[in-house]
A = this chain, B = another copy of it.
Amino acid sequence: MPMGGSALDLVGVPLPDETLSAAKQSDAVLLGAIGGYKWDNNLKHLKPETGLLQLREGLKVFANLRPATVLPQLVDSSTLKKEVAEGVDLMVVRELTGGIYFGKPRGFGTNENGDEIGFNTEVYAAYEVDRIARIAFETARKRSGKLCSVDKANVLEASMFWRKRVIEIASEYPDVELSHMYVDNAAMQLVRNPKQFDTIVTNNIFGDILSDEASMITGSIGMLPSASLGESGPGLFEPIHGSAPDIAGQDKANPLATILSAAMLLKYGLGEENAAKRIENAVLHTLNKGFRTGDIYSAGNKLVGCKEIGEEVLKSVETPV
């Protein structure tokens, strides 16, 4: 179903009704990266990004799981020193349907002095923090049992409230070790020593920033999938990266994040763990054979395009080793 730029070109809106209802009726939704120069200066309701936010809201997928893992095969493509990057394996749990992305009031106007203004509202309700905190504690429990909640509680009331609720929910998970970190410090610590993190939970805008930073630390943002889940209903699965309009149509893009998003779809969306593993193994096998797109290329490997690396993965899926 079309959405984003393609839907704008086809029918003039970034999320057609038919697309949203088809998505709602599905068992799971796989989404390609969206956005492009062509629509960058559109009015807000005609931006591809607005379609994505409408889809997240429409599917009520409030929990965005963004793994950032450094694969041994790709440790050299990180800009971080090998000893800092190697072994990084963290998960950002980002709140996805609340906060400043959706808060009201928002818009343009004038203030009491008659100055033009632009404004947004960062707001969290107790139930919104509670449910994302629970997902984060569950996630941390299945991983190393360490959860770091990131906020700006030394300045923002919305963050003080966030922290208070997270501490409240923590009493349900006595086996998980909870810590708190200010967002500015977290942005530093991800560069200084990313291995200190296991599971991070944070709000929508901080999660947007920190998950992109974390993924770049792995050196392979073109490799990273994500899952967005709700209370019930279909999940939404998409690569972390954007649409890379600068290389569109050049057969250079790395398709592995999208392919791995399909694996996450099978695992988290459909409960098909074996099928998910088969795709993940096919990707690893393709890397082990030395195939690399430009973004993850390092000396000694085979530089290939989007199509060719996709074909290689397909071969390995069809004939698992």
Cross-chain contact A155 with B188 (CB below 8 angstroms) = no
Contact with B along A215-256 (1 / 0, CB 8 A): 111000100000000000000000000100000000000000
Given contacts A115-B125, A117-B123, A125-B116, contact A193 B156 (CB under 8 A): no
Q: Which residues of B contact A125 (CB under 8 A)?
A: 111, 113, 115-117
Identify A161's interface contact among B108, B185, B206, CB under 8 A.
Answer: B108
Q: Which residues of B contact A123 (CB under 8 A)?
A: 111, 117-120
- Does any Cβ of B come within 8 Å of A197's Cβ? no
A47, A49, A79, A206: residue with the most chain B Cβ atoms closer than 10 Å: A79
- Does any Cβ of B come within 8 Å of A302's Cβ? no
Cross-chain contact B101 with A119 (CB below 8 angstroms) = no
Contact with B along A96-111 (1 / 0, CB 8 A): 0000110100111001
Given contacts A117-B124, A187-B187, contact A47 B154 (CB under 8 A): yes
Cross-chain contact B44 with A158 (CB below 8 angstroms) = no
Q: Which residues of B contact A160 (CB under 8 A)?
A: 44, 118
Q: Which residues of B contact A18 (CB under 8 A)?
A: none
Q: Which residues of B contact A156 (CB under 8 A)?
A: 100-101, 106, 118, 120
A183, A187, A189: residue with the most chain B Cβ atoms closer than 10 Å: A187
Cross-chain contact B193 with A209 (CB below 8 angstroms) = no
- Does any Cβ of B come within 8 Å of A35's Cβ? yes
Given contacts A184-B208, A185-B212, A192-B216, contact A121 B124 (CB under 8 A): no
- Does any Cβ of B come within 8 Å of A126's Cβ? yes
CA distance A213 to B216 in the complex (A): 13
9 cross-chain CB contacts under 8 A: A108-B161, A115-B127, A119-B121, A183-B209, A184-B208, A185-B242, A188-B213, A191-B217, A192-B216
Q: Which 4 A-B pairs have the closest CB atoms?
A: A118-B161, A188-B216, A119-B123, A115-B125
